[in-house]
Amino acid sequence: MIVYGDIHADIYKLEPTGFEENFADAPVTPAEHAINRHLYDPSVSFATRIETAIQRYRARRKFHTETAQVFSEFLSFGGVDTAQKQFTERLSKADLADMDPADVAAMTGTDVVREVVLNNDKWEVDFVGVAQGFLFVNDCSSELLVTNVLQVK
């Protein structure tokens, strides 16, 4: 544990996470573009595409405990079940090496669009609306959310 004045931080919290100010993802290569076109093809169901996007987003960021908790609550608020999938077997690196990116995302992801959302035509995709509702319901001025997740000082 490292102490800076009255702020306590674990060493892992000092490493870059991908949420830093002015952070940008690297440019997409032609090979990555081809993979993305396959993963997010309009012929693939919306639920599968959004679950893949969430899983890939989680894989590309280092979530601290507090950030992961708030992100999971945000997803849950928006109709995504973030609980561990039941009856999943542990996959070895050899198993993962033989799979294409879509299969890896499907096998390793824990976030699943809820059935009530899939079977109801009254739901629509509204990321801004979900974010506004989530922040309103969860009191965006709470100390945890403001200091640890939104990184407002």
Confidence band for 33, pLDDT divided at 50, 70 and 90? very high
User: How would residue 98 be classed by pLDDT, with cut points 50, 70 and 90?
Assistant: confident
Domain of residue 62, residue span = 2-149
- On the question of pLDDT at 5 being above 50, the answer is no
Over 60: is that where the pLDDT of 4 sits? Answer: no
pLDDT at res. 2? 43
pLDDT digits (tens, 9 = 90+) for 53-91: 898 888 888 888 888 888 898 898 888 888 765 555 666
Alpha-carbon gap, residue 58 to 56, rounded angstroms: 5
Distance CA 139, CA 134 (A): 8
Please provide residue 151's backbone torsions phi and psi, each rounded to the nearest 5 degrees: 55, 40
H or E stretch covering 106 = helix 101-108
Burial-class residue 37 by CB neighbours within 10 Å (0-12, 13-18, 19+): exposed
Predicted local confidence at residue 41, as pLDDT: 94
Residue 34 pLDDT greater than 90, yes or no: yes
DSSP tag of 26: P
What pLDDT does 30 receive? 94
For 143, the token pair is 């100390």
Cα–Cα distances in Å, from 59 out to 5, 18, 41, 125, 151?
A: 33, 11, 20, 22, 21
Average pLDDT, the chain: 75
Strands 80-81 and 112-113 come out as antiparallel
Confidence bin at 1 (pLDDT 50/70/90)? very low
Other C-beta atoms lying within 10 Å of the C-beta of residue 70 = 20
Specify the pTM.
0.67
Give yes or no for a contact between 62 and 15, defined as CB atoms under 8 angstroms apart.
yes
- What total of structural domains would you count in the chain? 1
Q: Which residue has the tokens 């060493």?
A: 11
